[in-house]
């Protein structure tokens, strides 16, 4: 966008933002050297001088928020979340990574392992295998533990399942195991050679938010050059009559932000690469246990429960010292 002196700018009626401020508010500018305007303007009175209210309103959010599913198959979902704050969108991402439960082996009990892979390594590999089981059907056995815990005394459970591979005569020492003891599910791979396990490695949830490209008019031969420039085929050529052609952004979702289009001479002046701040493209790749759309709803539930927890805490606080109503509003918003 060309820089214009403030004196030469057109007057803007009260209650509206001038176009460049509006852009700064809603877009991330991806210049060739560094992205700018990356933060969201949170302060409700940021544009008060121009008569614009920047406060967050629940009804506005409800009105503007959209979710558009672009792709959905067994393991993947790609959907757009439009009209949501980065912090909230990120909260979903973080919850998906860290808090939506997935089933995995936490403790492994070795009866006999003569493979080349040592017990600990095999156990680690087993732990990496996602298990196709709906975690919602299970309860947490223990408090979330930071690390696998060695139980040097062997299994605390004296091998209840007792696969009785070795007949223990009473004379020999008590059966103890090199154990990450306590298995929740018995896997068919349990006694198998671990090589077979390798092929099951899929990881959980990932996402890449927000991408939309805006473009100023670029005409004629330069347009064709631009189309060629982009390696991922974002642009297309459109005829605008009178023998003039211009490039349009035909496939904005394909952009990987390689910034090829704004590289070199003064391409940066012709092409404006920006991102919409409140538009997020979410890609969730499921490990297979749950369908990806369910994963997301799970994440929403987690967030919801967290909010509830916090509100209840704050409510109790509020009843005590009769605090500001401002907080209430925030909590209400969060809940939404």
Partner 1 sequence: MVSIEYTKGSHGDITVATKKDVIIGRLPIMLRSRCCVLNLRDEAELARLGECPLDPGGYFVVKGTEKVILIQEQLSKNRIIIDKDSKGHLIASVTSSTDAIKSKTVFILDKEKIRVVLNQFIKPIPIMVIMKAMGIESDQEVVQMIGRDPRYGVLLLPSIQECVEENVYTQQQALEYLETKVKRFSFSYGSVEKEGRALSIIRDVFLANVLVRDLHFRPKCIYVAVILRRMMEAVLNKDAIDDKDYVGNKRLELSGQMISLLFEDLFKTMNSEVKKSTDNLLEKSSRSSKLDISQHLARDIITHGLERAISTGNWDVKRFKMHRKGMTQVVLRLSFIATVGHMTRILPQFEKSRKVSGPRALQPSQWGMLCPCDTPEGEACGLVKNLSLMTHVTTDDEEGPLISLCHSLGVEDLELLSGEELHAPNSFLVMFNGLILGKHRKPQHFATALRKLRRAGIIGEFVSVFVNEKQKCIYIASDGGRVCRPLVIADKGISRVKEHHMKELKVGIRTFNDFLRDGLIEYLDVNEQNNALIALYEGEAVPETTHVEIEPFTILGVCAGLIPFPHHNQSPRNTYQCAMGKQAMGNIAYNQLCRMDSLLYLLVYPQRPLLTTRTIELVGYDKLGAGQNATVAVMSYSGYDIEDAIVMNKSSLDRGFGRCIVTKKLTAINQKYANNTMDRIIRPQRVGRDAERMQILDDDGLAAPGEIIRPYDIYINKQSPINKEISVHSPAGLPDSAYKSAIQTYKGPRGETAVVDRVALTSDKDNNLCIKFLIRHTRRPELGDKFSSRHGQKGVCGTIIQQEDFPFSERGICPDLIMNPHGFPSRMTIGKMIELLGGKAGVSCGRFHYGSAFGEPSGHADRVEVISETLVKHGFSYSGKDFIYSGITGSPLQAYIFMGPIYYQKLKHMVLDKMHARASGPRVMLTRQPTEGRSRDGGLRLGEMERDCLIAYGASMLIYERLMVSSDPFEVQVCRACGLLGYYNYKLKAGICSTCKNGDNISTMKLPYACKLLFQELQSMNIVPRLKLAEA
Q: Which residues bind partner 1 (CB under 8 A)?
A: 28, 30, 33-36, 38-40, 86-87, 89-91, 93-94, 97-98, 110, 112-113, 116, 118-121, 124, 128, 150, 152-153, 171-174, 176, 178, 206-209, 211, 231-232, 256-260, 263, 275, 277, 283
Least separation in angstroms between CB 232 and partner 1 = 5
Pick 10 or 265: Cβ nearer partner 1: 265
Long-range contacts of 191-197 (CB under 8 A, 24+ apart): 191/111, 191/112, 193/115, 194/115, 194/117, 194/122, 194/125, 194/126, 197/125, 197/126, 197/129
Least separation in angstroms between CB 297 and partner 1 = 19
Encode 200-233: b = buried (16+ Cβ within 10 Å), e = exposed: eeeebbebebbbbbebeebeeeebeebbebbeee
Pick 70 or 258: Cβ nearer partner 1: 258
Pick 244 or 301: Cβ nearer partner 1: 301
Q: In what order do the strands lie in the sheet with 274-276?
A: 35-36, 27-30, 274-276
Least separation in angstroms between CB 83 and partner 1 = 15
Least separation in angstroms between CB 53 and partner 1 = 22
- Identify the CA nearest to 105 among candidates 289, 295, 293: 289
Least separation in angstroms between CB 8 and partner 1 = 28
Host H or E run for residue 237: strand 235-239
Pick 12 or 97: Cβ nearer partner 1: 97
Least separation in angstroms between CB 268 and partner 1 = 14
Pick 4 or 258: Cβ nearer partner 1: 258
Pick 51 or 231: Cβ nearer partner 1: 231
Torsion sign (Cα): 282, 288, 293, 296: negative
Give the burial class of 11: count Cβ atoms within 10 A of its Cβ; 0-12 exposed, 13-18 middle, 19 or more buried: exposed
């Amino acid at each position: 966008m060309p820089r214009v002196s403030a004196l030469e700018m057109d007057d803007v009626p009260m209650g509206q933002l001038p176009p460049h401020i509006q852009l700064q508010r809603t877009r991330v500018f991806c210049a060739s050297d560094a992205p700018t305007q990356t933060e969201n303007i949170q302060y409700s009175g940021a544009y008060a001088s121009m008569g614009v209210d920047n406060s967050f309103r629940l009804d506005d959010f409800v009105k503007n928020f959209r979710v558009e599913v672009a792709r959905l198959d067994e393991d993947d979902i790609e959907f757009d979340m439009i009209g949501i704050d980065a912090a909230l969108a990120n909260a979903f991402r973080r919850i998906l990574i860290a808090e939506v439960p997935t089933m995995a082996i936490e403790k492994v009990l070795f009866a006999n392992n003569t493979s080349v892979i040592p017990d600990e390594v095999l156990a680690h590999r087993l732990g990496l295998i996602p298990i196709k089981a709906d975690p919602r059907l299970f309860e947490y056995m223990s408090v979330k533990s930071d690390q696998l815990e060695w139980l040097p005394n062997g299994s605390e459970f004296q091998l209840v399942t007792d696969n009785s591979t070795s007949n223990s005569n009473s004379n020999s020492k008590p059966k103890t195991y090199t154990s990450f003891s306590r298995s929740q599910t018995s896997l068919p791979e349990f006694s198998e050679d671990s090589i077979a396990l390798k092929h099951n490695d899929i990881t959980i949830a990932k996402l890449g938010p927000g991408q939309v490209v805006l473009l100023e008019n670029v005409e004629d031969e330069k347009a064709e050059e631009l189309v060629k420039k982009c390696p991922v085929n974002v642009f297309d050529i459109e005829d605008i009559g009178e023998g003039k052609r211009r490039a349009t952004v035909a496939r904005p979702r394909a952009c990987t932000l390689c910034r090829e289009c704004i590289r070199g001479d003064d391409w940066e002046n012709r092409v404006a690469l920006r991102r919409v701040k409140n538009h997020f493209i979410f890609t969730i790749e499921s490990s297979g246990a749950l369908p990806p759309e369910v994963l997301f709803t799970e994440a929403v539930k987690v967030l919801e429960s967290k909010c509830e927890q916090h509100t209840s805490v704050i409510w109790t606080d509020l009843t005590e010292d009769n605090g500001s109503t401002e907080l209430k509003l925030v909590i209400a918003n969060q809940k939404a």
